Amino acid sequence: MIANAAIRFNNQTHIGRTHIQILDRMIKERIFDGGKTVDGFVNEKGLFLTRHEAADHAFEYGQIPAKKFELFSYDLGWA
């Protein structure tokens, strides 16, 4: 089951409800400096999944009704 949206930055995973909320918090806390990020999600075990991996995972757990190539927060009704 997908538990939270997540952004990987500098080998750290930052979690929240949506990616924009996470990024806004990272900017306000001066964590994000414009470097490379990877958007994804964390599952119920806290494992980081890319958008593609998360789409497969969410479909397998019945969180989305159809297979998708990538998962977005709004697919889960979080946005």
In the prediction, which pLDDT does 78 show? 82
Element (H, E) at 43: strand 38-43
SS3 49: strand
How many other CB atoms sit within 10 Å of the CB of residue 48?
16
> What are the tokens at 41?
């999600």
| Helical ranges in the chain per DSSP H | 19-28, 51-60
In the prediction, which pLDDT does 33 show? 80
Q: What is the pTM of this model?
A: 0.93
Under a CB-based contact definition with an 8 Å cutoff, are residues 5 and 73 in contact? yes
SS3 10: coil
Segments in the chain below pLDDT 50: none
For the chain, the domain total comes to 1
Q: What residue numbers bound the domain in which 55 lies?
A: 2-76
In the prediction, which pLDDT does 45 show? 97
In the prediction, which pLDDT does 27 show? 93
